[in-house]
Structures are given as C-alpha cells and as structure tokens.
Amino acid sequence: MKPRNICGTIVFLIVALFQPLSISGQEEFSTKIQAILDQSVTEYHLPGIVMLARNAEGETFLGASGFADLETQTPMTPQHRIRIASISKTFVATVILQLVEEGALSLDETMDRWLDASLVDAIPNGHDVTLRQLLSHTSGIYDFEDSAFIELLFADMQKPWTPLELIQHALDHGEPYFEPGQGYQYSNTNYILLGLIIEKVTSSTMEEQIRTRILSPLHLHQTFSGEEDYPLDEWNAASYMVQEDGSRMKIVDLPLNFEWGHGHMISTVEDLAVFFQSLVDGRLFQNRSTLDAMLTMTPESDYKYGLGIIHGSLGYGHTGGTFAFASCATYRPEDGMTLVFAVNDLNLYYEDSEIEWGYVWATRQLHSLLLPSAVEMWCELK
C-alpha cells in the first residue's frame, strides 16, 4: 500500500551490527538498543516497535518496546504478529519463479496466455505485458490504490473486495503510465494479476501455493497467507493510524482482501528473518539462475527493484506499509546480516508528525551507537 502523507513516503533509517561480540559485549549492545527503542516510544508517543538484528554468527538482538494494544496495555513483544503489507510481494514473486523453474511459466510470456480474454482485453496494452514486467513494475499498468480508492476504503472498511473489483478500480480511475517495458512505476495491480496467474496455472489458490511452497518447508508457523488462516488471538498486534485532526484511530478487524496478492500476509520478525535469509541464500530455488533473475535490478527503477525484491545498502529485502503498520525486512548475504523492523502505527497525513520523527530519531540513535560498523538504508514505502 502507498502511505499518503505530505512527502509521499515514510523513511526508515535502519542500522545493523556486523562484527561478532563477546557475551558481555552482546549484553551491553542489547541493553543500549533496548534503551533507544524504549526512549523512542516514550518521547515520540509511538504505540509499539519490534526489531530483530542478527549477524552471520547467529548473535541476535530481538526486542520490542511500547504496546501491541494501547487500550489493554498489552506490551509489544517479538512474538506479536504484524501485517507485513508489501513484503507479501516477495512471497508471491517466489512462487511465480518456482513455477518458472518447473516449466509451468515463462518470465517473458505475456499474461494473456493465462488470464481470461475479457480481462486482458479491458487492460490497456494487456496483450503485450509479460510476467517479468508485472514482477518488476515495468508493465505500466495503473495502480488501483489511488486516493479515490483510499476514500472508498475509509467509507466502508469492512467491505469485502475481490481481485477483479480491485483491478476494475484501476481500469476506471487511471491510464497506463507508459507502454509495457518503457519505464518503471510501482503498481500494486501488477501483483493482483500475478496472484490470478498463480491460481490459473496451479488450479489452486494463491494462499495454498504460498503455504505449501514456502511457509511449510521453512516452518514459518507464525506467518499466514489469507483470511481463512488468519488467527484471531491475542498475538495479533493492534494497529493505529493518525487521522487528519491528529487523533489516533485503532484499526479493528480490517479485512485483508483489499490487499490480495500484494499485501495480504501477516508474520513475525523472526519468521521474516528466516524467509529472507533462506530466499537470498538460494534455498527456495533449484537453480542459481532463478535467484540471479530475481536479484537482477530493473534499470528503469528509481530505486533498485528486481523481481519482487529491493536491493539497498543493507542487502536484499522489501518494505511494507498498510493500515496501520510500517515494516522493513532485509538480508545481506555478504556478511550474513539480517534486520527486520516494524511499527504498529502509520501517519498518512503529516510530514512533521511525532511518529515519523520518532522513527528517524530512534534509528539515528542506533546508527550513532554502532558506528563505524553501521550503515544506513532508506526504505522507501511506495
């Protein structure tokens, strides 16, 4: 989902530890990190923060601060599940690339081979769009998640949306950004179409394919794909959104179906760490060439985007922003550094909000603490 504050993005400055520590050094490091998280929640009134940082030796900081639910005063913990929003795209892309390995799909075939003719006919340039272009956001297809859709979502936040309704909104409200392959524009509509293709080629649901191909083999028992799997228990962190008048609104039981294919999953920081390390280390593909294709960045992109994955100074990963979580997960294979970070609040309106400055303050403090072995990554939430 696209956060819609004044500057159009929320930036995380995220830092990482690379050198192994002694036991006493690791304890001191963890204490300082926890203090920074605690202070950021207190000074900037953030509901909750959760963070995992792990180096190649397996030394791990796993901590949280604030509350998973403000009303019940339930403390945030690393065991709480969060909505991972667009990080879901990397799971969908992985399934598509596995199907390519199996010979069921080809990256450079057009989507009209798999989607109903009536749907493809309705999409401008639809017969020319390839799977590679959908994965890399070079299709030019309009993003359904525009301001008009956000208004519809606010008007009825319990409305069940179907994938075809989401695509139809894109067709009704915008023109193509460019001819297929002639540019880069992040569009959630691309991944709805990829979800439909997964279901067509496998005669199964997208959710089931994610479960059987990724979640089960990696034992990601706290990661769920789809409404049917969503566990309604105390381990789901509540989320909060700052409204235009400055008040904070709790998002209650918001259906996941409006994010089908592009942001529909929930997970924990530990599960996300396992997923990205396994993916980038090649354990989810049979051939190295498949991983290489995924990690090849799109020349047209305004930041480094491959096939469902982002590359930055902290390695490979993805970011996510939705009602009302913001998250980032990365893994850097050169030195085995993994970092996952999430906050259960999102400000869609004010550039100079306490929430946004709270993110920046906390991560700058972490950066200062860890110099010179820390780096910055700007995770742009699109």
Residue 1 counted as domain residue: no
Residue 179 counted as domain residue: yes
- The predicted-structure confidence for 93-103, as pLDDT tens digits, reads as follows 999 999 999 99
Residue 35 counted as domain residue: yes
Q: How many domains would you assign to the chain?
A: 1
Residue 168 counted as domain residue: yes
What CATH number does residue 153 fall under? 3.40.710.10
**CA 218, CA 311: separation in Å to the nearest integer?**
23
**pTM for this model (two decimals):** 0.87
Per-residue pLDDT band for 348 (boundaries 50, 70, 90) equals: very low
- The predicted-structure confidence for 142-178, as pLDDT tens digits, reads as follows 999 988 998 898 788 888 899 999 999 999 999 999 9
- Per the DSSP assignment, residues forming a β-bridge with 315 are 312
Residue 169 counted as domain residue: yes
**CA 273, CA 277: separation in Å to the nearest integer?**
6
Q: Which domain holds residue 283?
A: 11-380
Strand order in the sheet with 265-267: 82-83, 265-267, 224-225
Residue 4 counted as domain residue: no
CB 52 within 8 A of CB 17: no
